Structure formats: C-alpha cells, structure tokens
A and B are shown apart, each in its own frame.
Chain A
Amino acid sequence: MAEPYQHKIANALGDPKLQLAIYSATGRLADGRRRTVSTEAFPDYQELRQHAHEIKKHTLNHLDFYLQELERNVEARGGRVIWARDGQEARAFIRNLARERATNLIVKSKSMTTEEIHLNEHLAQDGIEAVETDLGEYILQLAGEKPFHIIAPALHKTREDIAHLFERRLHAAHETTPERLTAIARAALREKFLEAGIGITGANFLVADSGMVVLVENEGNARLSCSAPRIHVAVSGIEKVIPRAQDLGVFLNLLGRSATGQPLSVYTSFLSGPRREGELDGPEEFYLVLLDNGRTKVLADAEKRQSLYCIRCGACLNNCPVYRKIGGYSYPWVYSGPIGKILTPQFMGVHQDPWLPFASSLCGACAEVCPVKIEIPKILLALRAEITEAGIQKGGMVEKLAFRMWAWLMRHPRIYERVAPVAAAAASRLPRAGPLKAWLSQRDLPPLARRSFRQLWRERRK
C-alpha cells in the first residue's frame, strides 16, 4: 500500500475519539435508514430500488439523447448550458463569469462535484472568495479540511472541536450546544448571502423533460444560495440526468431514506431557470455547468458503467465496516467509502492507487443498502482482476507466482495432500514473516489438524 495511506489508516485506527465519532454518527444514519426502509414503514422499498436501477440504466444507455433534451429545455426556459470536459473548463467558466459580473464573492451550497474539481482553491487563487454555506462544509472550510463523508462532511468533528474553531476563526463566544453553534454560523453566513454576486449549487437530479435542477437539503442554504444572489450556477456531473419529472417520485423516496432516514429531506427545490417576467423571486441569470471529468470514460465500460448510477446518498459508507474503521480521510479522493473505492480507480486510472480495490472484505453490505442497486463488490472484483492483470500492485510478481503454483497444486490432489501439511509445518518454523506475521499481529492461529478430513474419512471407511 502507498505509504501516506498506510499512515492515515493507522492514525484513524489509533484515535479512540475519532473511532467513537465515526461509529456513533454512521450508526445513527444507518439505523435511521433501516427504520424508514423497513417493510412495515415502506412496503414498496425493494420494488422501488429495482425501478430506480432500471431508470438509471436506461438513462445512461441513452445519455446523449437525454442530455440534449435537457439542454434544449434549460435554454427554452432562459438558462444556459455549459459543457465542461474537465475541471479546468468548468472553473474557467465560473472565473470568467465572476470577472464579467464584477463580483469576488460567491456563496456555495454543498456539492461533491465542486469538491472533485477543487473549485474553491482555484477561485481563491484568482482572488475570488467562495464561501461554503452548508453548516458542515462551512466548519470544514474554516478548519481547512476536506469532507470526511459524502453527506455528513464534518461527521468527525465534535461539538467541542467546533466551539474552539468558531472561537478561533470567528472570534465567537465559547458555545457548545448545536443551537448556539448554528446561530453563530448563521449570523456570519447571512452577511455573505446578502453580499454575494453569484450562488453556486450542485444538483441532485437534472430532469430532461422539464429542464429542471432538483436540489435536496435540510438546512435551506441551497435554496438561499440559488435565490439570494443575482446569478445562479449549478455544477453537475452529466450522470445526474433523469428522463422525466415523474421519475422524481422514485428517487426522492429513496434518497432521503437512504441518506439520513428521512422519508423526505426538509427542503426539495425544483428550479427551472431564471426569474421570468412577473415573478417575484429567483435569480436573474441561470447557468448549468455539465461536467464530464472522466465520466464518459466510465460510461464506455459496459460492465462498470453502473458505477455512475450513484445518487450520493452515503448509505454505503454508513454501512461499510471498513469505512467505519478507517474514516473518510484514508481514501485517496473526495469520494470515500465503497463508492469511492470503485469510482476512484475508474476516474484516476487503476495505476494511481492499486491497493484501493483490495481494501475490502467483500462483505457486500454496501450493495445491500444501495438505493440504485450498484453491484459494488462485483465491480471491486473486476478492478482487482484489471490490477493483477497489469501486475501493478505491491508484491504483485510474488503473489502471481504463488497463485500459479497454488492453482497447479489444486488440480493435483495427491500431491496437494502431501504438500499442504509439510508447507504448513515449514511455515510455522520459519521466522514469522509475510502473511503469517500479518495474521499473528492481530489474532491467534489455530494449529493445522493432525490429520486432514480426507485422511480421517479414509480411515473411517476402512
């Protein structure tokens, strides 16, 4: 494994306070989900999951068609669509827009897509301040950190941590109740909302047949970000499109339940472009930045294409026993947990972090809770095969040779029967190294049986 990640994992495992924070927060979210999707609470859940899977499958198989329909309908409502091949093109559009409209303050609501393209850092280099307005994201921005979790970005921060941070960065009084802490953030953010020239949001869904952006949130900051400033820019991956407004009935029913255990999130905004004549609110200008940034590469692979079905609910993280141990900062990219484990190698290439798809016990809890039924373990296995095929993982040559020998032995039962106990006996006398050492670092090992099953069976037959 790459050194920096080994350290990050060790740090997370060695921090009891962090372990407790991750465990209790993800546990709460997972319990909430379990309650709201139970057969009693929501009898149609499994059928709805299958339906969501089919809609995503259909849409991604005809993505070109639906994206063009979306573009036509957005423009018919007076908005503009910007096609961005990568982060650089998306950032350039936003920077130029800010310059042309002479603003250097932007308010932002939570968006993993803008995290993916490091929008805030780049804008800051150009002298444009982008302020996160989701409470969790705001906390992290003040702390100079990245999201720890897809939907609960500051999950690892305790109230005490946040109190100190607000004291230090906002010169606020020491408050530790969630209500008072929220009030401090709200007061600071309200000024920014009123001053900002541009509001940037992500998009939970893009609706092709009505040219609509749908935003789901609990704090109301996304709604304010796209209505208080004069200009609204939504940045979205191209995979977020769904065909029809009526399909929202499927996805909205799944998203809140899967994410936080809410039948519906507190605010669901259906945004259809700039303010029209006679309307009282809404932005004067609306832009939709449609980002590829590697998505078409994933789309090209028929087997792994389903990775793009993800609606970013975070359920796979909350239910992943590995994420719950190592936390969000042990993963190489902004997308952590099981979904990150399959997205990162596909977006960045398998060469960058070849250890990542192996960091799973393949328990399948992720696939079980995924609202759009992405077969995450199956994709992990396919990625592992690509990596061993390319021979790029650490110790790959030795391992490949070992598996070749093993496969030969498994086809020669008589030799296997003689070799297995000898090999085991030899291993137990050798200095503890390799896999044996790794095993014993954590737990005891049972001794090999004196006689194998096949020997005992033979004796019994006599």
Chain B
Amino acid sequence: MPRVSLFVTCIVDQVFPQVGLAMAGVLDRAGCEIEFREAQTCCGQPAFNSGYRREARTVAEYFLQVFEDADYIVVPSGSCASMIAHHYAELFDAGDTRIAGLASRVWEFSRFLVDVLHVEDVGARLERVATYHDGCHALREMRTKEAPRRLLEHVRGLRLAEMDAAEECCGFGGTFSVKFPEVSGGMARTKIDSILRSGAEIVVSTDSSCLMQIQGVLSRAGTGVRTMHLAEVLDSR
C-alpha cells in the first residue's frame, strides 16, 4: 500500500477545502495510506515568482522539514508540485541532500493516479459535458497532458468536449493577475470564449488557482458554466 502524504496547497486549504477532501477520498479508495501533516503551509511559489528568493527559500526550507521523511507527496496542483519538484533546485545548492530525489517523490494528483498507481477508472459518475483546461505548469513543467483526460474518459456519464484553446494560459499567473489586471482579465476572457464554444457545462483542471480565475470571469460574464477541480469530478458518485 503506497504511503501518501497530502500537500494541500494554501489556496485549497483556505478557499477550496472540498478539493482537498475529494483528493483524499479518491486516493483512499485507490488503496493509499493517507496522512496530512498539519504543520504544512505553502510551497513558497508566491514569493519565488515575485522575485523574493530569500523569503521563498525560508518557506521552502520549512516545507522540506515538514515533509522530510514522506514517501510520496501528492499535490492537487501542477503549479505547486512543479515549484517543489523543479524550482527548489534554483533555491538550494546543487549538492544539497534535502532536494535530492525530490522530483520523484512529488506528484501532481492526476499523474500520481495514472503513472504511479496505474489507475484510470476510479469508479466516478457525473452526468455532465466537461471541458479540460491545461494548467500551464501542470502541462509544461509536470508533463500532465494525458493523465487527466484518461481519468475523465472513465467517469461514467461524463462527456469530454475539448475546447480549441485548451493549452492557452487563463491569465492567472499569481501576482500577475493583480499587477496587470486588464491584461490578465483579457486573457481570461479569451479563454472563456473558447470554453463557451466547446459547449461544456463544466470546466475541469488540476489547478484551483486557474479555476479561481476562470470561475471569476465566467461568473462576471453571467454564464452558467461552472468550474470543478479534477479531484471533485473523480470524487463524484
């Protein structure tokens, strides 16, 4: 039985706790031994992406301390998983033993299911037309392209209607969304045009931060399309 330590990102913890619960439920049913370390907080990405490397490093050091002896660290976010798996290397010396092998222990949720547990059918059921948004870091840094789609294809009652701009950024980008709100908003509106063209009722992704941006614009535009994290879809029965 694989031992899984959940890293519930700060945005999931504070804004979308149901995503964390859904992920725990799916992993539990897939036969994992799950733990949640309460001392955890954030991966440090907000500081790193804003150029505050010293602050990012102190938070990263804290993360590594909390998860020191964890086997698998599974994350409901491609972006946060990539911060840990790839960008920590830029914050520490190359020879630092704390980051050695980190990339093979930290997994984005959907790829952990498909590539480590070899599970594609989690027994979920959801009667919806769904479209999938490729989060940029999930797609380009964590190579998450096939896994979420395979999982969605096995959800009973769900039809996957790909949008034409699935791989285009939603415009969130962390502090970019508030430093350049008009540009970020413009990007999001281009994204939702593509979503609406797909005819989907729900937008699914691996990252709550993208979904917060997309939901915010969908709601502002008065559309009835809703966003759901992949974990919530897979936890539907």
Rounded to whole angstroms, the CA-CA distance of A56 and B49 in the bound complex is 28
Rounded to whole angstroms, the CA-CA distance of A363 and B184 in the bound complex is 12
Rounded to whole angstroms, the CA-CA distance of A367 and B86 in the bound complex is 15
Quick check: A384 and B50 within 8 Å, CB to CB? yes
Closest to B20 in A: A453
Rounded to whole angstroms, the CA-CA distance of A378 and B190 in the bound complex is 26
Interface centre among B24, B48, B136 (most CB of A within 10 A): B136
Among A42-50, A180-188, A340-348, A397-405, the one that faces the other chain is A397-405
Task: Determine the chain B residues whose CB is within 8 A of the CB of A418 once the complex forms.
Answer: none
Quick check: A406 and B55 within 8 Å, CB to CB? yes
CB contact under 8 A between A361 and B62, given known A387-B51, A388-B50: no
Task: Determine the chain A residues whose CB is within 8 A of the CB of B50 once the complex forms.
Answer: 358, 384, 388, 399, 403
Among B99-107, B109-117, B153-161, B210-218, the one that faces the other chain is B210-218
Total residues of chain B contacting the partner, CB 8 A? 65
CB contact under 8 A between A364 and B178, given known A384-B49, A453-B12: no
Closest to B61 in A: A411
CB contact under 8 A between A361 and B14, given known A410-B44, A443-B213, A446-B216: no
Interface centre among B8, B15, B219 (most CB of A within 10 A): B15
Among B32-40, B121-129, B195-203, the one that faces the other chain is B32-40
Whether, in the assembled complex, B118 has its beta carbon less than 8 Å from a beta carbon of chain A, the answer is no
Q: How large is the interface on A (under 10, 10 to 19, 20 to 34, 35 or more residues)?
A: 35 or more
Contact of A359 among B39, B176, B213, B217 (CB under 8 A): B176
Quick check: A410 and B59 within 8 Å, CB to CB? yes
Whether, in the assembled complex, B21 has its beta carbon less than 8 Å from a beta carbon of chain A, the answer is yes
Whether, in the assembled complex, A311 has its beta carbon less than 8 Å from a beta carbon of chain B, the answer is no
Whether, in the assembled complex, B180 has its beta carbon less than 8 Å from a beta carbon of chain A, the answer is yes
Interface hits, A429-462 → B, CB 8 Å: 434-435, 438-439, 441-446, 448-449, 451-458, 460
Whether, in the assembled complex, A374 has its beta carbon less than 8 Å from a beta carbon of chain B, the answer is no
CB contact under 8 A between A449 and B14, given known A9-B183, A322-B183: yes
Interface hits, B141-170 → A, CB 8 Å: 141, 167-169
Quick check: A362 and B49 within 8 Å, CB to CB? yes
Task: Determine the chain A residues whose CB is within 8 A of the CB of B90 once the complex forms.
Answer: 378, 381
B181 to chain A, nearest CB (A): 4
Whether, in the assembled complex, B188 has its beta carbon less than 8 Å from a beta carbon of chain A, the answer is yes
Closest to B187 in A: A321
Query: Interface of A with B (CB < 8 Å)?
Result: 1, 9-10, 13, 321-322, 325-326, 355, 358-365, 367-368, 378, 381, 384-389, 399-400, 403-404, 406-407, 409-411, 413, 416, 420-421, 424, 434-435, 438-439, 441-446, 448-449, 451-458, 460
Q: List 5 contacting pairs A-B, 8 Å CB cutoff, sorted by A.
A: A1-B180, A321-B187, A326-B183, A424-B14, A457-B38
Query: Would you list the 6 A-B pairs with minimal beta carbon distance, nearest first?
Result: A361-B173, A443-B216, A442-B185, A384-B51, A388-B51, A363-B169
